[in-house]
C-alpha cells in the first residue's frame, strides 16, 4: 500500500485544539450555534479516534467558562486559561502541547482573526502542521473571518472543512471505528441540511 500524503490529517499524529469557546465571546457571533455544533462533532469523533483535545479560555474570570453544552466533555475542566491572544503565550498550554507529542494541530474556535490566527502562526513556528476547518472558526464580522483565513492560507496553514478533516482522520470505511462514528456523520449531515433549509 502506498504511503499517505503527509499533508493529510492522521489521527495518530493530530491534536484537536479548541480556542476560547466562551458564552460572552460567542454572543455577538451570528454563526455561533453552527460553530458550536461543528466543534461538538469534532470533539466526539476525536474521542472515538483517541485524538487528544486541548481547550483554552481567555480571561475566564471576566469572560466566563466554555459554553455549558461542553461541560460533560472530559477535557472541559482541564481548559487552560490565558491572557495572551496566542495560546502559545501560556506556558501551561505549551507544556501540555509538547507532552502530547503530536505533529499536527486541528485548530478550532474563536475569534478567527485574533486568537486563532496568532495561535496558528505560533504553532507553525514550532514546526507543527496546522489545519483549520473554515466551518469551525468564526469572528464577529464575516470580513475579519474571511481575510484572516486568506492570510493564514497564504502563510501555509491548511484551510479545510469539518467533514473533510473527519474523513481524513478516519482513513477508511468498513472498520469498527468507522461504524461507531457513522451515527455522528449522519447527525452532522442532518444538521447541515437543517441549516440550509433555514
Coil, helix or strand at residue 173: coil
- Cell digits for 44? 466526539
Rg of the Cα atoms in the chain: 16
- Alpha-carbon span 76 to 178, nearest angstrom: 25
Active-site positions? Answer: 20, 82, 115
- Alpha-carbon span 13 to 87, nearest angstrom: 20
Angle (nearest 5°) at CA 139 between 138 and 142:
95
Contact 136, 159 (CB under 8 A): no
Amino acid at each position: 500500500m502506498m504511503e499517505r500524503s503527509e499533508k493529510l490529517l492522521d489521527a495518530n499524529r493530530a491534536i484537536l485544539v479548541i480556542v476560547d469557546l466562551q458564552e460572552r465571546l460567542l454572543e455577538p457571533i451570528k454563526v455561533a450555534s453552527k460553530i458550536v455544533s461543528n466543534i461538538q462533532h469534532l470533539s466526539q469523533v476525536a474521542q472515538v479516534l483517541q485524538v487528544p483535545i486541548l481547550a483554552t479560555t481567555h480571561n475566564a474570570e471576566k469572560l466566563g467558562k466554555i459554553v455549558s453544552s461542553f461541560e460533560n466533555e472530559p477535557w472541559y475542566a482541564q481548559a487552560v486559561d490565558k491572557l495572551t491572544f496566542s495560546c502559545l503565550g501560556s506556558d501551561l498550554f505549551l507544556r501540555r502541547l509538547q507532552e502530547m507529542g503530536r505533529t499536527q494541530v486541528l485548530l478550532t474556535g474563536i475569534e478567527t482573526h485574533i486568537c486563532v490566527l496568532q495561535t496558528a502562526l505560533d504553532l507553525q513556528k514550532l514546526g507543527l502542521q496546522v489545519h483549520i476547518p473554515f466551518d469551525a472558526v468564526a469572528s464577529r464580522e464575516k470580513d475579519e473571518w474571511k481575510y484572516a483565513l486568506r492570510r493564514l492560507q497564504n502563510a501555509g496553514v491548511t484551510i479545510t472543512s469539518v467533514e473533510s478533516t473527519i474523513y481524513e482522520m478516519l482513513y477508511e470505511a468498513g472498520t469498527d471505528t468507522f461504524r461507531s462514528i457513522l451515527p455522528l456523520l449522519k447527525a452532522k449531515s442532518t444538521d447541515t441540511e437543517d441549516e440550509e433549509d433555514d
